[in-house]
């Protein structure tokens, strides 16, 4: 599993679809929002939690289509399917590699980008923590969508349509954590729900994604 993780990390960096592209997209989105909303600091600060979470969510989508597609094209996925490694472990490892090259850099950069949106000071720590807890769910949910569309030509749009509705609960509770922190409200319930979504996704979706891959390989 460690060899597979190292391989996926190296491929993500070499292919140019890892943290660089995602961070660039995230920065462009955050930069464009003030031009569309206007130079109103109070309004920007109020919508900053939602905008930052939406930006991180959309940035995570950029590299999902490569999660299994490259292995499908060069035959590596067939070899993994007949190898002693459990397919569920392969899916979880690939989702972890996606998070390390996409979700984690976005989590680290998000507080810096929050400055551009005038995010109130109490929100910075909880923005970081909410993304740290929530972005692993985005990666494993994305791996399930990628498994459903593997082998399909031009499946990127279909992948986005499948995955985006599944991202909504994570988006709601992630943004709510930051919003409640900014307003000085209790955020234990939202934080617990966010963590519960992530744990449930990592517990269940690797098995569903592995089943989808086996069906597509038949």
Nearest to 52 by CA among 132, 111, 138, 139: 111
**What are 108's two structure tokens?**
């680290």
> Where in 37-147 does DSSP place strands (E)?
none
CA angle 91, 56, 169 (to 5 degrees): 70
Give the pLDDT confidence score for residue 217 in this predicted structure.
Answer: 77
- Residue 13: pLDDT over 80: no
Mean of the pLDDT values across residues 17-25?
A: 76
Q: Rounded to an integer, what distance in angstroms lies between the CA atom of residue 77 and that of residue 195? A: 31
Percent of the chain with pLDDT over 70: 95
Radius of gyration in angstroms for the set of CA atoms belonging to the chain, rounded to a whole number: 18
Q: Rounded to an integer, what distance in angstroms lies between the CA atom of residue 90 and that of residue 159? A: 19
Give residue-wise pLDDT tens across range 135-181.
Answer: 999 999 999 998 888 877 766 778 888 899 999 999 999 999 999 99
- Which residues, other chains included, contact 112 with Cβ-Cβ below 8 Å and sequence gap of 6+? none
- Residue 104: pLDDT over 70: yes
Mean of the pLDDT values across residues 178-196?
A: 92
Mean of the pLDDT values across residues 199-214?
A: 93
- Residue 107: pLDDT over 80: yes
Give residue-wise pLDDT tens across range 28-51.
Answer: 999 898 888 877 878 888 899 999
Mean pLDDT of the residues in the chain: 87
């Amino acid at each position: 599993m460690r060899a597979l993780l190292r391989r996926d990390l190296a491929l993500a960096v070499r292919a140019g679809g890892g943290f660089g592209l995602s961070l660039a997209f995230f920065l462009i989105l955050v930069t464009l929002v003030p031009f569309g909303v206007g130079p109103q600091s109070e309004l920007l600060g109020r919508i900053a939690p939602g905008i930052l979470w939406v930006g991180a969510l959309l940035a995570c989508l950029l590299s999902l289509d490569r999660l299994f597609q490259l292995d499908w094209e060069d035959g590596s996925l067939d070899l993994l399917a007949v190898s002693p490694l459990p397919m569920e472990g392969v899916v979880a490892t690939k989702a972890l590699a996606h998070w390390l090259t996409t979700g984690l850099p976005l989590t680290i950069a998000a507080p810096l980008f929050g400055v551009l949106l005038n995010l109130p000071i109490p929100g910075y720590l909880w923005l970081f923590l909410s993304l740290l807890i929530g972005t692993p769910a985005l990666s494993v949910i994305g791996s399930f969508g990628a498994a459903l569309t593997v082998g399909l030509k031009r499946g990127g749009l279909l992948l986005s349509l499948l995955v985006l509705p599944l991202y909504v609960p994570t988006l709601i509770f992630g943004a709510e954590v930051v919003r409640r922190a900014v307003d000085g409200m209790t955020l234990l319930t939202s934080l617990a729900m966010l963590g519960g979504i992530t744990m449930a996704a990592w517990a269940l979706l690797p098995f569903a994604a592995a089943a989808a891959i086996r069906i597509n390989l038949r």
